[in-house]
Amino acid sequence: MNDNAPPTDVFVAVEEETYPAATWRLIIDDAPRSGAANMAIDQAVAEACTAGASLPTVRFYRWQPPAVSLGRHQPLAEIDLDAVAARGYEIVRRPTGGRAILHIDEFTYSVAAPDHESRMAGGVMDAYLRISNALMLGLQALGVAADKAPGTVRVSRDVSAACFETPSAYEITAGPRKLMGSAQSRRGGYVLQHGSLPLVGDITRLIDVLALDAAAAMALRQELAARACTLAQALGVAEDALVVTFAQVCAAMEQGFAQALNLQFKVSQLSPAELRQSAVLIRETFANPAWTGHK
């Protein structure tokens, strides 16, 4: 881990599970990418992993320009398109489920592997728990008293359009507040999970681009501020103070994944085939208004 990262003496026990040692690929994207590019790359990598053309992969990345991502089946009508355009944000629809996220000032991870890989075996929540344990160890290495929501937690049907309003089973929390949101897709023989760690800033900025009347927006803003937090807030510093860099988060999360899942990482880049497939997916899916606008 980076020597400049904050020290920690906070550790939370995680469930013991034994895995055979394995080598996975680690991709750290130094340059931020558009929303369509990030979603296309995640899917292209998952497809390559399933085909045996790439090792199971953990990717760390950022977004530029900031983007509002929708869950796979979330109605576009829940977003105020004029407000999005006025702020210079993009809109993209994820291949995974869940609710809207504003990707700004954040660290994003993705995990892609064949569904028969031992760490992905079982159902959605089995893999979700294992990945949450890895994320929790990474956050603890940064000094966060991170935990995860109980496995019995379920999000109600009347939850708002905002992903960070409330944690679902095994999502990462800092005290009573949600710190990381994640979503998973299991299709085509692969498992793809990605998630968001807001680093700094106003956690309620998403409310500005939701299609809500003034009273509903105010109520949801207050609720979100009480129930969710950034990494800076979890560390007890000012919301706009970047005390942990993207590189430091990457190093801590690499350590957390390696320890929790018994992995060695081969640091690498996208293959030429993955780049070609991601270009196709950008054009045909993730930058295609027909995909973004579907219900």
Residues annotated catalytic, as ranges = 163
Length of the chain equals 295
Within 8 A by CB and 6+ apart from 96, the residues are: 71, 72, 183, 184, 185, 192, 193, 194
Instruction: Using the Cα atoms of residue 149, residue 151, residue 155 and residue 161 in order, give the sign of their dihedral.
Output: positive
- Contact status, residue 3 vs residue 245, Cβ threshold 8 Å: no
What is the rounded distance in angstroms from the CA atom of residue 56 to the CA atom of residue 268?
12
Integer CA distances (angstroms), 63 to 122, 131, 142, 250, in order = 31, 22, 22, 15
Q: From 126, 101, 170, 146, select the one nearest 256 (Cα to Cα).
A: 146
